[in-house]
Chain A
Amino acid sequence: MNSYHHPIISPRSRLWFRVFAISTYVFLYLPVVVLVVFSFSDSKLLVFPIDEFSLRWYGVLFANKDLQRSILNSFIVAGTVVPVSLALGTPLAFALDRFQFPGKTVFEQGLLIPLIVPGLITGLAILLVLKELEVRLSLVTVIIGHSIWCLPIVVTQVYARLRRLDQTIEEASMDLGATRAQTFLRVTLPNIRTSLVASALLTFTLSFDEVPVTFFLTGTQNTLPMHIWSMLREGVTPEINAIATITVAISIIILAIALQLLNRDNSARPRQPGPVTGNNGA
């Protein structure tokens, strides 16, 4: 990371930029900070100034059985969506990289639709199919909905990585006696490992927070976002601050890990830091 100062910015502009950037970061993070701070406030109302500090709301949180169950459900869902998306997305990315077939470009574009289209519509669409087939809504249907939404993310990431892969090592592997299947497992996968892990982390986090698709496909079992949603509809309760704080903390940790992995993968190449989030399309 160089500290090259582009001559394009005059010192005076530089100052304005700094001011602007600081204000923006404050705008972005002040609400979060406020939230976190208030999660430790003893009062039921989010009033300013804070009289007492306590962990009261965390206590309420941990005592709430329904909440705990919904957290568990979210883990179950996200935990299943990840392997499903990887298992479906990786061979697809491989097929796109190695084979030509009629309609390939259309398919590539079409695959991105769930990313761009409002989740509401994707959720509705799948709901219609499930109703026609008379399938009952449950966590399984939620998992299916999430996987459709997460599949393009996995495919995009893995495909991008596959294209950068030096295929001569696969030839070397086959030259030394490994079949294509063995080569895929022993040479290809290890070398695209970081894209798999990054996709997994990305998928997990996005699935954990997902709202629109889940909204239509939830049965009797709630996921965490659904639970929070119903809590929010009733009004603002302070436990939510506590949830938010914890969620933010966990997201930061997972994100830091994902970025580290991707940086290590890219350290040999000059590239920008950070993942290309699936939301930005291909």
Chain B
Amino acid sequence: MDNVVRLERVSKRFEDFEAVKCLSLSVARGEFLTLLGSSGCGKTTTLRLINGFELADDGEIYIDGTLVNATPPYRREVNTVFQNYALFPHLSIFDNVAYGLSIRGLNKAVIRKRVFEMLDRVGLVEKASSRPAQLSGGQMQRVALARAIINEPRVLLLDEPLGALDAKLRRTMQLELKRIHTRLGITFIYVTHDQEEAFVMSDRIAVMNDGRLVQIGAPTDIFERPANAFVAEFVGTGNFFAAIVGEAVGEGRRVHFGAECHLVATGANGFAEGASVTIAVRPQPVQVLTATCVEESENVLPGTLKEIVYVGAVVRLTIDLGAGGTIQAENLPENLPFDFRRLRGGDKLWVHVPAGSILVYGAGA
């Protein structure tokens, strides 16, 4: 893999808080990589280690093969789109976008041409002589982007740039950013806590927690094969149960949870009998069945309907499994073999949990 950025066992601590712990990460040239995690996980610190505003306590940082630990931010060929845009309030939009070029001492005519080209690309030509204070949030964001991209950096860093926008605008901008990335071919390193955003835009996602890299891979990998319970929960897997591994049955092993519930999971094969594990299932594969369509099987559990929520495209059902706890199912209405509108709380229902959809993690994962 041709790495444009490489972090080797990088650590960073603030006072007595370790923000980044022994992190190793490689970013392929031209890819769209997202650092995903909740606040305090170290993703922004990692970004700032790359653009040079934080100094690593340990480890090495390479940009295009060159060691850059000692290189100040103004000499790294990296540009950043900041969370609050950080546009220069005393300069016009034109001067803001031209800043990097003017620092480099380019010819005025050349600057003019390139700035207007860039402004045209982001659709803000008519705002060229306005000040940042006169622009809307979405417009400022585009200026920040233009200002960074115009310098043709090796890597573009984006620190939660869409956080301040409303939902609809955010979705539009996500697609826009993706388009720009594809067209320009620059490597993007994106930071966000929004899992959905990460999935929409990224080629690869690096999930971070507590200063460490927990899992890195394509969105589908993360989603379908979360490396541990943390990642599973982060990407929306619900339905966590503490369980004990039982004997082998068919292609998998039985897992016991609650007082008397058990399922067969192919994912439990790597564990010894008696091991304590955590099992997780996403709501989508859990199929809800009524008496008329249920078949006796290992992975069908009886329960009563606790709650049903109709969210338009899907139906969310919470089934009480008695001593086993509750399980959430999210099904498309047309896939339900019964009319969900006839259901009432307390109705007897069955849930079918496919053996292959159960994620099994060692205790403490």
- A177:B151 contact, CB within 8 angstroms: yes
Kindly state whether residue B7 has any CB partner on chain A within 8 Å.
Answer: no
A26–B89 alpha-carbon span in the complex (Å): 44
Question: Of B59-67, B98-106, B221-229, B297-305, which stretch is located at the interface?
Answer: B98-106
| A and B contact pairs by CB, cutoff 8 A, 22 listed | A166-B84, A166-B86, A169-B88, A171-B53, A172-B80, A172-B82, A172-B86, A172-B88, A172-B147, A174-B72, A175-B51, A175-B53, A175-B79, A175-B148, A176-B74, A176-B100, A176-B148, A177-B75, A177-B103, A177-B151, A179-B74, A187-B90
Q: Chain B interface mostly helix, strand, loop or mixed? A: mixed
Question: Which residues from 254 to 282 on chain A have a C-beta closer than 8 Å to any C-beta of chain B?
Answer: 268
A175 / chain B contacts, CB cutoff of 8 Å: 51, 53, 73-74, 78-80, 82, 148
CA distance A177 to B148 in the complex (A): 11
B218 within 8 A of A: no
Q: Within 8 Å of chain A (Cβ to Cβ): is B289?
A: no
The reply to whether the CB of B87 lies closer than 8 angstroms to some CB of chain A is: yes
Partner of A174 from B73, B84, B148 at Cβ < 8 Å: B73
B179 to nearest A CB, angstroms? 24
State how many angstroms separate the Cβ of B304 from the closest Cβ of chain A: 54
Q: Please tell me if A7 contacts chain B, counting CB pairs below 8 Å.
A: no
In the complex where A171-B82, A172-B82, A175-B74 touch, is A187 in contact with B100 (Cβ < 8 A)?
no
Question: B83: nearest residue on chain A (CB-CB)?
Answer: A168
Q: Does A190 contact B (CB under 8 A)?
A: yes
Instruction: Decide: A191 near B89, CB < 8 A? Known: A174-B73, A175-B79, A178-B74.
Output: yes
Residues of A within 8 A of B88 (CB): 169, 172-173, 187
- Beyond the given pairs A176-B103, A178-B99, A190-B90, 20 more chain A to chain B contacts, judged by CB atoms under 8 angstroms and listed by A's residue number, are A166-B86, A169-B87, A171-B80, A171-B86, A172-B88, A173-B88, A173-B99, A174-B53, A174-B72, A175-B73, A175-B82, A176-B148, A177-B75, A177-B103, A178-B103, A179-B74, A180-B74, A182-B103, A187-B88, A191-B90
Give the top 10 A-B pairs by smallest Cβ distance, nearest first: A176-B100, A172-B86, A168-B86, A190-B90, A177-B103, A174-B74, A174-B73, A175-B80, A178-B103, A169-B86
Do A168 and B73 have beta carbons less than 8 Å apart? no
CA distance A152 to B215 in the complex (A): 55
**Chain A residues with Cβ under 8 A from B84's Cβ?**
166, 168
**With a CB–CB cut-off of 8 A, which chain B residues contact A173?**
88, 99
Nearest to B76 among chain A residues (CB) is A175
Per-position 1/0 for B33-60, Cβ under 8 A of A? 0000000000000000001010000000
Q: Is the CB of A176 within 8 A of B99?
A: yes
Query: Taking the complex as formed, is B363 at the interface, i.e. its CB lies under 8 A from any CB of chain A?
Result: no
Interface footprint category on A: 10 to 19
Which residues on B are within 8 Å of A, measured CB to CB? 51, 53, 72-75, 78-80, 82, 84, 86-90, 99-100, 103-104, 133, 147-148, 151
User: Chain B CB within 10 Å — which of A174, A178, A187, A268 has the most?
Assistant: A174
Complex Cα distance, B132 from A274, in Å, reads: 26
Determine how close the nearest CB of chain A comes to the CB of B190; give it in whole angstroms. Answer: 16
| A positions within 8 Å CB-CB of B | 166, 168-169, 171-180, 182, 187, 190-191, 193, 268
| B74 / chain A contacts, CB cutoff of 8 Å | 174-180
How far is B210's CA from A87's CA once the two chains are assembled, in angstroms? 46
Flag if A268 contacts B99 (CB, 8 Å). Answer: no
In the bound assembly, the distance between CA atoms of A117 and B193 in angstroms comes to: 55
Closest B residue to A176 by beta carbon equals: B100
B45 to chain A, nearest CB (A): 14
Q: Which residues of A contact B80 (CB under 8 A)?
A: 171-172, 175
| Assembled-state Cα–Cα distance A193/B147 (Å) | 24
Chain A residues positioned under 8 Å from B78 (CB to CB): 175
Complex CA gap A11/B283 in Å reads 68
For A178, the closest partner residue in chain B by CB is B103
> In the assembled complex, which residues on chain A have CB atoms less than 8 Å from the CB atom of B147?
172, 176
B148 proximity list for chain A (CB < 8 A): 175-176
Nearest CB of A to B2, in Å: 24
Query: Which B residues are CB-close (under 8 A) to A172?
Result: 80, 82, 86-88, 147
List chain B residues, Cβ under 8 A from A177: 74-75, 100, 103-104, 151
Report the Cα distance A200→B151, complex, angstroms.
38
What distance in Å separates the Cβ of B197 from its nearest Cβ neighbour in chain A? 22
CB distance from A140 to the nearest CB of B (A): 36
Interface pair A176/B151, CB less than 8 Å apart: yes
* In the bound complex, CA of A176 to CA of B99 (Å): 7
Interchain CA distance A180-B80 in the complex, whole Å: 17
